[in-house]
């Protein structure tokens, strides 16, 4: 038996024991509770969370056609493939999706890439939809407030510098991926990017805000002008949601 197989077996047994005793499954990083955001349904299958706003609510920053395609087709495909992988290893349903993504080495090798890509796709997009809301006419520029605003100033100097660094990182992400504002265990903020559907969880960071820089996120409206998309996107960021993630 390979060491990795042994690690998986022993951790699944721990998870089974924990579930039997009513406790949350334990993984390498400690107890990881089921997230209300990514909670598995009772039958073990994940579902695409409905948008809390209309498909055209983010116009003109993100057009309705892009939202429909992105949410109903792209996100749905990630969920379908994630569920198919989990069905091959039902024991994995004892873990939150975050726990699996944070510790991919413990996921059986035959479904590891699928969990990474499609589980990551589900996690990233659920966070993305929840991080946005439509503009209100005359409401002015959206800014973070309170503790989050202070932390951004501490880490980046000021909000404008943070925005420039975030957009620059998003531009430099070659190909498909994400640009993130993350916090570490000590609540220090940083900007990072990930390729494909990789999540900051895999390297121990907690994502607070992420922008999707896959072409499917912007190409219908912005074509190759990723910089314009990154610059316009601030108008639909919901900083209240981001503040809650920072405080959690
Ligand atoms: Mn996408």
Domain CATH code at residue 159: 3.55.40.20
State in Å: Cα 74 to ligand 1 middle: 7
- For residue 101, is it within any domain? yes
In a domain, 168, yes or no: yes
Structure tokens at 27: 């993984």
- pTM, 2 dp: 0.85
pLDDT digits (tens, 9 = 90+) for 159-187: 999 999 999 999 999 999 999 999 998 89
Q: What pLDDT, in 10s, does the model give residues 68-101?
A: 999 999 999 999 999 999 999 988 888 889 999 9
> Over 90: is that where the pLDDT of 206 sits?
yes
**Comparing 29 with 112, which gets the higher pLDDT?**
112
**Inside any domain, residue 56:** no
70 CA distance to ligand 1 centroid (A)?
6
pLDDT in tens, 26-37: 334 444 445 545
CATH of the domain at 89: 1.10.287.990
Tokens linked to 85? 């992988």
- Cα–ligand 1 centroid distance for 39 (angstroms): 20
**Does residue 9 lie in a domain region?**
no
**Per-residue model confidence (pLDDT) at position 40:** 58
Q: pLDDT-based confidence at 15, cuts 50/70/90?
A: very low
184 falls within a domain:
yes
- Average pLDDT on 97-121 reads 95
Encode 21-58: b = buried (16+ Cβ within 10 Å), e = exposed.
Answer: eeebbbbeeeebebeeebebeeeeebebbebeeebebb
My answer on whether 117 and 36 are in the same domain is yes
C-alpha separations of 224 from 169, 215, 219, 221, 227 in Å: 16, 8, 6, 9, 9
| CA of residue 213 to ligand 1 center, whole Å | 8
> Average pLDDT of 197-222?
97
**Same domain (yes/no): 119, 165:** no
Q: How far does residue 240's CA lie from ligand 1's centre (Å)?
A: 22
Q: Does residue 45 share a domain with residue 105?
A: yes
Residues 26 and 82 in one domain: yes
Is residue 200 predicted with pLDDT exceeding 80?
A: yes
Residues 111 and 180 placed together within one structural domain of the fold: no
Q: How far, in Å, is the centroid of ligand 1 from the Cα of 82?
A: 15
* 114/152 same-domain check: no
Centre of ligand 1 from the C-alpha of residue 43, in Å: 26
Residues 6+ apart with CB under 8 A from 162: 152, 155, 156, 181, 191
Rounded-to-integer distance, Cα 107 and Cα 164, Å: 37
What is the CA(73)–ligand 1 centre distance, in A?
10
What is the whole-number distance in angstroms between the Cα of residue 72 and the centre of ligand 1?
A: 11
Domain hosting 231: range is 146-247
Same domain, 25 and 86: yes
CA of 20 to the centre of ligand 1 (A): 37
**What does the pLDDT read at residue 28?**
40
Q: Is residue 139 part of a domain?
A: no
Residues 237 and 183 in one domain: yes
Residue 211 Cα to ligand 1 midpoint, Å, equals 9
Q: Is 79 a member of any domain?
A: yes
pLDDT at 11 over 90: no
Domain count within the chain: 2
């Amino acid at each position: 038996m390979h060491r990795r197989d042994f690690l998986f077996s022993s951790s699944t047994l721990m998870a089974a024991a924990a579930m039997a005793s009513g406790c949350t499954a334990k993984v390498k990083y400690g107890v990881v509770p089921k997230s209300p955001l990514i909670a598995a349904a009772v039958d073990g299958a994940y579902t695409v969370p409905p948008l809390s706003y209309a498909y055209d609510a983010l116009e003109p920053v993100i057009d309705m056609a892009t939202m429909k395609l992105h949410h109903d087709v792209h996100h749905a495909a990630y969920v379908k493939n994630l569920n198919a992988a989990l069905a091959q290893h039902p024991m994995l349903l004892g873990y939150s999706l975050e726990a699996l993504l944070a510790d991919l080495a413990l996921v059986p090798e035959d479904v590891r890439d699928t969990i990474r890509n499609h589980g990551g796709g589900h996690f990233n997009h659920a966070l993305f939809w929840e991080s946005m809301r439509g503009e209100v006419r005359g409401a002015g520029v959206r800014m973070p407030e309170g503790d989050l605003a202070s932390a951004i100033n501490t880490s980046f100097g000021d909000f404008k510098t943070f925005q420039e660094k975030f957009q620059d990182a998003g531009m430099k992400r070659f190909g498909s991926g994400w640009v993130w504002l993350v916090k570490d265990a000590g609540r220090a903020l940083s900007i990072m990017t990930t390729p494909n559907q990789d999540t900051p969880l895999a390297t121990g960071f907690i994502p607070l805000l992420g922008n999707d820089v896959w072409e499917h996120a912007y190409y219908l409206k912005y074509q190759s002008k990723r910089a314009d998309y990154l610059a316009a996107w601030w108008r639909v960021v919901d900083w209240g949601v981001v503040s809650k993630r920072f405080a959690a």
